Amino acid sequence: MPRLARIAVFPIKSLDPVERDAARIVANGGLEGDREYAIVDGDDRYVNGKRTAAVHRLRASFDSDGTGVTLRRENGDDPRAFDLAADRESVEAWLGDHFDQPVRLQRERAGGHPDDTALSGPTVISTGTLREVASWFPDLDVEGLRLRFRANLEIDGVPPFWEDRLVADHDHCVAFRIGDVTIRGVNPCQRCVVPTRDPHTSDVHEAFQRVFVERREATFPEWADPARFGHYFRLMINTQVPEPEWGSTIEVGDDIEILGERPLESSGT
């Protein structure tokens, strides 16, 4: 039986995750506290791993309620603790020093700062997929891949690439249930430069994309439509959560059931 094995939220977009035993669905379908803050420059552009490898050389740990953060650089600098509300200017100054440019922390409680605002639900991957991909790289492990791919929800009890079943054609989604909450699987996630970098040092794995694409094509499920993916540098599923489900809660251990395809424009419960 597929089950929800792990919930991860990223309180500050692009920085380290926090694991939760349960998470509430908030407005726009995101998880409460996920990417609630984003680091932006003077032009309100995200300062993230797509733009600068310096993101990977930051470590962040968060208080249980998400209001406090401790930041340090990977090179061993003394950690600094901040209250995200009361110490906003101090956090921004510390981050600006790290990135060598003025930055701000931008807060959005209603759904956070997802990369895809149309598909703002939690991202989904399976533990089996992470294990399979880790086997392609002798120097990488599952935990390291979690930090490279940065999924919100991890599903266990299923074979590798099971989550590809949550993708239909461009006019349909696949409805699935986690506990009592219905979510829509829509798109396979197109990967960027971030997974090619070591999540702690920013060192580039020069062969990562080539090996990944070769092995992804070789292991691509027979029942999946390669045309729907377009290319093989895709992993993880982007989702939407129907508005009636906002305010609901999912928990680690919840059973998961695929409910079937729905027309994309009316793909609620």
Q: How far is CA 42 from the centre of its chain?
A: 25
Among 107, 133, 148, the domain-final residue is 107
Q: Identify whether residues 44 and 152 lie together within a single domain.
A: no
pLDDT value at 149 more than 70: yes
pLDDT for position 266:
52
pLDDT tens digit sequence for 117-132: 788 999 999 999 999 9
Question: Which of residues 65, 86, 107 is at a domain's end?
Answer: 107
**Containing domain of residue 68, as a range?**
37-107
59 and 129 share one domain = no
Please check whether residues 222 and 241 belong to one and the same domain. Answer: yes
Residue 80 pairs in a beta bridge with 71
Q: Any alpha helices (H) in the chain, and if so which ranges?
A: 88-99, 127-134, 142-149, 208-218, 226-229
Number of domains forming the structure of the chain: 2
Q: Is 30 left (phi over 0), alpha (psi -120 to 50) or beta?
A: beta
The mean per-residue pLDDT over the stretch 26-49 comes to 95
- Residue 16 reports pLDDT greater than 60: yes
Q: What CATH number is attached to the domain comprising 163?
A: 2.40.33
Give the domain-ending residue among 56, 87, 107.
107
Name every residue whose Cβ is closer than 8 Å to that of residue 1 and which is 6 or more positions away in sequence.
157, 255, 256
The better pLDDT of the pair 114, 258 is held by 258
- Do 97 and 164 sit in the same domain of this protein? no
Region 224-247: what's the mean pLDDT?
A: 95
Mean pLDDT of the chain: 94
Locus of tokens 């950690």 = 79
The residue to which tokens 């070789």 are assigned: 218
Mean pLDDT, to the nearest integer, of 43-48? 95
41 and 26 fall within a common domain = no
Q: Are residues 178 and 251 in the same domain?
A: yes
Give the tens place of pLDDT for each residue, 69-102: 999 998 777 899 999 989 999 999 999 999 999 9
Over residues 33-51, the mean pLDDT reads 95
Which residues, including other chains, have CB under 8 Å from residue 104's CB and lie 6 or more apart? Answer: 39, 40, 41, 92
Name the residue with higher pLDDT: 264 or 257.
257
The answer, yes or no, to whether residue 108 has pLDDT greater than 50, is yes
Residue 267 confidence (pLDDT) above 50? no
Q: What is the pTM of this model?
A: 0.94
Q: In this structure, are residues 37 and 84 in contact, taking their beta carbons and an 8 Å threshold?
A: yes
- 215, 89: one domain: no
Residue 107 in this model has a pLDDT that exceeds 70 = yes
Tell me, yes or no, whether 212 and 79 share the same domain. no
Q: Is residue 18 domain-shared with residue 42, that is, in the same domain?
A: no
pLDDT at 78: 84
